[in-house]
Amino acid sequence: MLAIRVLREGRPSAVVTTGAGVALPFFALAWCLRVPTVYIEVYDRLDTPTLTARLCRPFTRLYLAQWEEQRSFMPSAITVGPLL
């Protein structure tokens, strides 16, 4: 319900996340509304994707990686470097 309310009232031009558990309903709803979604993989996962990354994958338009090593499990990601 929170995602419905926020996306309806806010009308965002994009939805961006670094992987909080609440991201999935926002990404799924944004996908249904044709709002672009951007997933930024967290900086401390270098060997496997996070659970949220795996769950949001079908609804993600653009993947961003903070380390080149993350592209081993996210080959379509764009490496942007550390965002700290």
Residues 17 and 26: beta-carbon distance below 8 Å: yes
Per-residue pLDDT of 15-71, as tens digits, reads 999 888 889 999 999 999 999 999 999 888 899 999 999 999 999 999 999 999 999
Whole-angstrom Cα distance, residue 11 to residue 33? Answer: 10
Domains of the chain, with CATH numbers?
Answer: 2-79 (3.40.50.2000)
Residues 23 and 1: beta-carbon distance below 8 Å: no
Residues 60 and 39: beta-carbon distance below 8 Å: yes
73 falls in which pLDDT band (50, 70, 90)? very high
pTM, to two decimals: 0.86
* 38 SS3 class: strand
